[in-house]
Amino acid sequence: MSSFTTLNLPKSILENLEKLGYTNTTKIQEVSLPYILQGKDLIGQGKTGSGKTAAFGIGILLDLDLENTKTNSLVLCPTRELADQVAQELRKLARFEKNIKILTLCGGSPMKPQISSLSHGAHILVGTVGRVLDHFSKDTLDLSELKNVVLDEADKMLDMGFYEDILKILNKTSKKRQTLLFSATFEEKTKKLAEEILNNPMTVKVDTTHHKDVIKEIFYKSESKEELLIDSLKFHRPKSSIVFVNTKAKSYEVIDLLDEYGFDSILLNGDLEQYKRDEVMIQFSNHSFPILVATDVAARGLDIKNLDLVINYEYPFKEENYTHRIGRTARAGEEGVAISLFHNKEKILDETKLESCDFQLKDKTPITSDLETMCINGGKKAKVRKGDILGTLIKDLKLPNDSIKKIDITDRYSYVALKKSEKLDLQTIKIKGKKFKVWFL
Ligand code: ADP
Ligand code: MG
């Protein structure tokens, strides 16, 4: 692992990286950044959690022409969640310079405000393929001066059938652009796309996440997977854990099972509407629910922090999904455990990971949360800010300081993780003199 200082980056960027706690480059950053900074096209292959965002992020941020408010860089992502995450990471990385405008263009939000933001200009656009194409067809997007394009999680975009759409977008951009393609896997389709859109690319590949060694992989097998799930949760007692299943049908079974045993768990699968998925992720990341039951499609690529346990209730069909799943734990240097459950009749792929499931439980209680999420019907658009919410809750409603654990504010809503013991019985709340509806999720 090498330090960012060997890369000859401007001092302001280095200082910001240090503030973010990024002192050493991750492997993919170490091997790709020299080429990216030289302006070369690049294919970067690295597992989830290897730090790909900062690899291309630093590259495009340093290439910006701030005077030019026409779009300099376009980052295409497979899903809205990923686009939001990439934009968030880019905004952190961009803090070394005040005037960098980063805009997300995703479906699920109305076009009009996006069009208006676009008309004011943005240096970097992060978006999903579908929505970016929508803007094209409406002529509300000008990519004529694009200097670089990033395809993030290209394999996933192709799985979703965006091959032609990606080409449609790229055909309208300058041939002189720098194109960076990142992908966890590199199958035929991805290769074909790379050949079409990249110009003499360098290829870098890293097998490891920079913290692979801190994921402990354990396999358990027994006569009953249901029991195994319940007992392994009671044994490991995670603060925050994802239980992965292979199908939506199984996700309903598992959530019912956990429910029956008294665990506080919440479901994330492709049946949920977008707003519901967002809410689920907020409730999980603010610790109102210690356990998330998820399918791969729904959870792919999400950067969920501080997971101490990942459980494969079902071993994934594809080996690459195994990597994706266990990569959710121990991200960026934290320690994590990844458990896979097998039925006695199932074939075990790697006997060396097998451990005894004779648990001798010290604590037999289910895992629950003492928090719940209050939703306020007003967010950034209504100019609601954390400090104002805290003001109302602490000063007006006399809640103790430590009963408020986390506040998330989205465009239209604010979410507060509150101690359940506070039993607030409210229909409305006044924030800075303005009345808002509230409810508990
Ligand atoms: P990928 O896109 O490869 O899955 P991300 O870009 O989402 O990975 O990064 C994974 C996590 O690692 C993020 O939380 C990010 O903030 C963190 N990270 C990235 N680069 C570094 C670094 N050099 N040092 C420490 N943490 C890093
Ligand atoms: Mg990524």
The CA 102 to ligand 2 mean position distance, Å, reads 17
Whether residue 326 is predicted with pLDDT greater than 90 in this model: the reply is no
Supply 226's token pair.
């249901």
Residue 131 lies in a domain: yes
Indicate whether 360 belongs to any domain: no
Nearest CA to ligand 1 atom 1: 49
Find the mean pLDDT for residues 151-177: 92
> Measuring CA to CA, which residue among 222, 228, 262 is closest to residue 243?
228
* d(C-alpha 421, C-alpha 416), whole Å: 14
Of the candidates 205, 225, 256, which is a domain's last residue?
205
Instruction: Answer yes or no: is the C-beta of 331 below 6 A from any ligand 1 atom.
Output: yes
**Does residue 210 lie in a domain region?**
no
Domain that holds residue 391: 371-440
Which residues share a beta bridge with 429?
436
Q: How confident is the model at residue 47 (pLDDT cuts 50, 70, 90)?
A: confident
Tens of pLDDT, residues 395-405: 999 999 899 99
CATH code assigned at 147: 3.40.50.300
Domain boundary at 205, 237, 264, which? Answer: 205
- The model's pTM is 0.59
CA of 214 to the centre of ligand 1 (A): 15
Nearest ligand to the CA of 151 is 2
- Measured from the alpha carbon of residue 324, the closest ligand is 1
As a whole number, the mean pLDDT across the chain is 91
Distance 15 CA to ligand 2 centre (A): 23
pLDDT band for 211, please (50, 70, 90 cuts): very low
Given 297, 324, 353, the domain boundary residue is 353
239 has pLDDT over 50: yes
Rg (CA), the chain: 23
Please classify residue 364 by burial: count the beta carbons closer than 10 Å to its beta carbon, then call 0-12 exposed, 13-18 middle and 19+ buried.
Answer: exposed
Q: Is the pLDDT of residue 210 over 50?
A: no
Q: Rounded to the nearest whole angstrom, what is the distance from the C-alpha of residue 71 to the centroid of ligand 2?
A: 21
Domain count of the fold of the chain: 3
Site to substitute for ligand 1 among 30, 152, 303, most atoms within 8 A of C-beta = 303
> Of the bound ligands, which one is closest to the alpha carbon of residue 26?
1
